[in-house]
Structure 1
Amino acid sequence: MSPGGSGTRAGALSGHATGDGTGLDARLVLDRGAFRLDVSLTAAPGEVLALLGPNGAGKTTALRALAGLTPLTGGHLRLDGVPLEEPARRLRVPAEHRPCGVIFQDYLLFPHLSALDNVAFGPRCHGTGKAQARALAAELLDRMGLAEHAHARPRRLSGGQAQRVALARALATAPRLLLLDEPLAALDAGTRLDVRAELRRHLAAFEAVAVLVTHDPLDAMVLADRLVVVEQGAIVQQGTPAEIAHRPRTDYVARLVGLNLYRGRAEGDVVTLGPELALTTAEKLSGPAFVAFPPAAVTLHARRPQDRAHNAWRTRVTGLESRGDRIRVALAGAGGELPLAADLTAVAVAELALHQGAEVWAAVEADRTHAYPA
């Protein structure tokens, strides 16, 4: 693996098939001291897979394993049916010989080379003549809308332009596996919006497998076809962005998609969360269940609401955080149980005189909740 990968033809945006074209089939097992990564990943050609997880979850380790930068201690890695790594057979294809392209978080463009020569670098490393490599690079830069910046060095490029050069360099060698490590993290908020949309367009045209590592849920939701959530070295949930957002299964995933999430036992439309804690829900279930609802569904009151349609319980404010035109209020029950987030206007916060330690009643209507099997 170089900054691009292997192969040299000009149709880089679609990738060129090697093997049987079945895509990615991997079980990545790595032991690093007390930490163990054990995740299975599959992806079809044309699919964008996003790895999400908190710091230390193992998502970057997984990406490095796919690239061949960190050896597996177990499992296997096959791309288009071709084995790239099988520790049990002592088989390991070196990183530089894998058909992978990588976009690093800080892009790692060569500062002494122009954008054109940065993109041409991969094909040149794999034996393509200088003129042909530069012609391919010029074609890719033109597709990226960077033709007029072909002779600029990285220091003369904006963050968004540098990101597109890095993408062109990764695609220049027609990789069968494109790996993106936090590809938008180095961009400011304004640039990120435009570049995210542009990157989505280019990934949609990429016919091989793409794997994206990100901590940003919006990047994952916009760029990926399927999400894989990793915590403590293991997969805790996977599915389409809509499935993950609609039915989170861990506290981390719930926070990621902006929901309050609880687990309990359902009987009809009541989910019991603890000895004296229960929520009435819109759905009727039986057995272990999750209940989720957005912070915007929570209302706060100085006194217990009289409306029986509300779930209501006494809480204490544990924190306040400004979020645009709303204030996120963190709450917990008297004994620390049922942690809760509520989004209020500044006017509502002022009227209730909220401050850390203040006691209020929290309420949520049953029809604003969503219950589903655990």
Structure 2
Amino acid sequence: MDLVIDARLVVRQGAFTLDLALTAAPGEVVALLGPNGAGKTTALRALAGLTPLSEGHIDVDGKPWHDRPAERRPVGVVFQDYLLFPHLSALENVAFGPRCQGMRRREARRLAAEWLDRVGLADQAARKPRTLSGGQAQRVALARALAVRPRLLLLDEPLSALDAHTRLGVRARLRRHLADFDGTAILVTHDPLDAMALADRLVVIENGSVVQEGDPAHVARHPRTDYVARLVGLNLYRGTASGHTVAVGTEGVRFDAAEALDGEVFLAFPPSAVALFRTRPDGSPRNLWQATVGGFEPHADQIRIYLEGPVRASADVTPAALAELRLAEGDPVWAAVKAAETHAYPA
């Protein structure tokens, strides 16, 4: 398979080391996810030439880039706060990159006008950044990044400055533009919705190293760390499987899972699958344990309840169900999960 980028990024900064192998194909959008301090922005800066490599290489279209200065790398960057030039119009902001590449002023302005039209801002060309909405500024920043005809498009939290309503429309528009881009786009984000909606592949980084990689659907179904589980909204445990039975924790709690496996596994189920009871339920639910209410938190139109005990878990209930249960922090409860909603996969 032809690759736009084939890189190993090793950056040492004090006690922190980023060591990231990264490949991407033409037209592919790769999202880098991870907690604060994981190394995502360091990776982006290394690709852009703003942070030097301690070791490794960056090959783009089969040619080495790691020795090139930043200004000689055909990279487009959309920064978190867009960093538009406040004294320039939207048109001149977009024309800035082509002008730096040696394009004549008239031709650069013509190209900038074409890009503003492509992002739906042809009628905003004369406006200064301070008069633009957040969504409009984001589109000007994207047009500016693409106007230099980059092989590599770097997007650093490109939607984080937008309110929730604006973000929805801009995300959809950004996806359409990325689908037309024939280079490679690397997206850094904390938002799982942005990653799932925009990326073809997720690369999850923790403490400078890759902990999981794959297409969004696979990562969402099979998290391999607590961070990824929280990101996709699953309860996650590591245990030992024998057939459909998985032993979890140090107190011998056992779960029945939908899959039959043997050996070390991960076990996962969504908070919405957890049912809560004030007294032990009738019958013999197979995945049943005692817990203590550790706290509450609004979660969309549900209430997320954090359970303490031999198995720590999150459970989502409706406000009406919470009122009916009359739960308070510290109350004992019984928790149950159906085996059909409890999934195991190899560790």
Provide TM-score, normalisation by structure 2: 0.98
Q: Aligned residue for 1:216?
A: 191
Q: Answer yes or no: is the 8 Å Cα contact 1:270–1:279 preserved in 2.
A: yes
Query: Is 1:339 aligned with 2:312?
Result: yes
Measure the CA separation in 1 of the matches of 2:308 and 2:174.
Answer: 40
Give the match for residue 79 of structure 1.
Answer: 60
Cα deviation digits, residues 80-100 of structure 1 (max 9, x gap): 111011xxxxxx210111010
Q: Report the CA distance between 1:142 and its aligned residue.
A: 0.5
Q: Which runs of 5+ in 2 are unaligned?
A: none
Residue from 272, 278, 281 that aligns with 2:254: 278
CA deviation digits over 1:276-307, x for unaligned, max 9? 21111111101111111100000000112233
Q: Is the 8 A contact 2:3 2:23 kept in 1?
A: no
| 8 Å Cα contact 1:305-1:312 kept in structure 2 | no
Distance in 2, Cα, partners of 1:101 & 1:347: 50
The normalised TM-score by structure 1 is: 0.91
Return the alpha-carbon distance in structure 2 between the equivalents of residues 62 and 363 of structure 1. 42
Larger relative contact order (Cα-Cα within 8 Å, sequence gap ≥ 6):
1
CA distance in 1 between counterparts of 2:86 and 2:2 reads: 36
Letter in 2 for 1:168: A
What amino acid maps onto 2:270 in structure 1? P
* Contact 1:22/1:45 (<8 A) preserved: yes
Q: RMSD value over aligned CA atoms? A: 1.1
Question: Aligned with 1:69: secondary structure?
Answer: coil
* Map 1:1-374 → 2, pairs under 5 A: 22-85=3-66, 92-274=67-249, 275-333=251-309, 337-374=310-347
Secondary structure of 2:344's match? strand
Q: What percent identity do the matched residue pairs reach? A: 65
Report if the CA contact (8 A) 1:52-1:227 is conserved: yes
- Residues 267, 286 of structure 1: 8 Å contact kept: yes
Aligned partners of 1:281 and 1:370 also within 8 Å: yes
Deviation at 1:21, TM superposition (A): 6.6
* Code of the aligned partner of 2:329: Q
Does structure 2 conserve the Cα–Cα contact (< 8 Å) formed by 1:31 and 1:73? yes
Query: Helix, strand or coil for the counterpart of 1:310?
Result: coil
2:268/2:343 contact within 8 Å kept: yes
Q: Distance in 1 between matches of 2:288 and 2:282?
A: 9
Q: Which 4+ runs in 1 deviate beyond 6 A? A: none
- Displacement of 1:227 after TM fit? 0.2
Say if 1:282 and 1:309 are closer, same or farther in 2 by CA, change over 3 A. Answer: farther
CA distance in 1, matches of 2:274, 2:2: 49
Which letter maps to 1:365?
Answer: K
CA distance in 1, matches of 2:130, 2:286: 58
Letter in 1 for 2:316: D
